[in-house]
Amino acid sequence: VGPPTIKSIELGCYEITAWYSSPYPAEYALQNKLYICEFCLKYMKSGVIASRHIAKCPARCPPGDEIYRKETISVFEVDGRKNKTYCQNLCLLAKLFLDHKTLYYDVEPFLFYILTEYDRKGCHIVGYFSKEKNSFLSYNVSCILVIPPYMKKGYGKMLIDFSYALSRKEGKLGSPEKPLSDLGLVSYRNYWKEKLLEYFLDYNDSEITIKSISQALGFNPYDIVSTLQAYGMIKYHKSNHYVLKRPEMLAAYKKKLATHAGLPSRSIDMGKLKWIPHSQRDPNQ
């Protein structure tokens, strides 16, 4: 992808440098800087226009249903069919920070899960993932992004965790849509590794199987095997594969948990999730 035409955006209190180009309409794509309302995601050419818009914009959170709230964190489910403009604007914004193709105009077959942080001004967008309403291959994520000012704060892991929480609620094994971007692969590998180590710490039986891990965590077996291979935690013998616990990796993970004790928890509290799987809903609603 060539260098971005739009050099930066203003989103809420943040001025953010664009990483890639995004197919905004030509008159906007020629601007060095775009101004984006952080609540409705309308994009504008100047600070004056943006100030006028923000003063009268009624939105203080994403459209759609709030399906999760814990302390100042909320997640909203937005239907691409019911809120087409918002979802298209979200995809255009996301493309400024994603190095692979993402959907822009064909948003109707997708649900968007918007992670927000709440303060007295409203629910500020932190990141999101999209998901096909009816995925033939049971993908639980199509596209995933944390807005740059919120990166490296545990929100990417939280979004991935949330996608698997929805899969478990659906009674399905989840997996992100392939191929993953380079950044996406690193994020998922780290997530899968940590969840596997967490599982091994709590697992006392002598025999660990890929099937038992898959059922407990809701992970696709292929993702489990590829992660175990990447970290040297699996071996093959006489056409069988055996999971290796790797004590030094477990010790390093325990140490990491100890150093992060006291930091805000980004884990998903399933008791706070108020959500019905799409397949179980009335299609007329």
Exposure string of 176-200, with b = 16+ CB inside 10 Å and e = fewer, is bbeebeebbeebbbebbbebbbebb
> What phi and psi, each to the nearest 5 degrees, are found at residue 151?
-70, 160
Q: What is the DSSP letter of 149?
A: G
Pick the closest to residue 153 from 265, 251, 244 (CA basis). Answer: 265
Residues 6+ apart with CB under 8 A from 3: 21
Strands 234-237 and 240-243: antiparallel
177 SS3 class: coil
Give the separation between CA 271 and CA 280, rounded to whole angstroms. 19
Cα→Cα distances 268→70, 127, 161, Å: 9, 15, 7
Q: Which residues partner with 118 through β-bridges?
A: 123
Neighbours of 41 (CB within 10 A): 22
The answer to whether the CB of 151 falls within 8 A of the CB of 121 is: no
Residues 6+ apart with CB under 8 A from 9: 15, 16, 18, 33, 34, 35, 36, 93, 96
The answer to whether the CB of 161 falls within 8 A of the CB of 266 is: yes
Token pair for 175? 């997996």
Mind telling me the catalytic residues?
177
Token pair for 54? 């923000």
Place of tokens 């990491």: 256
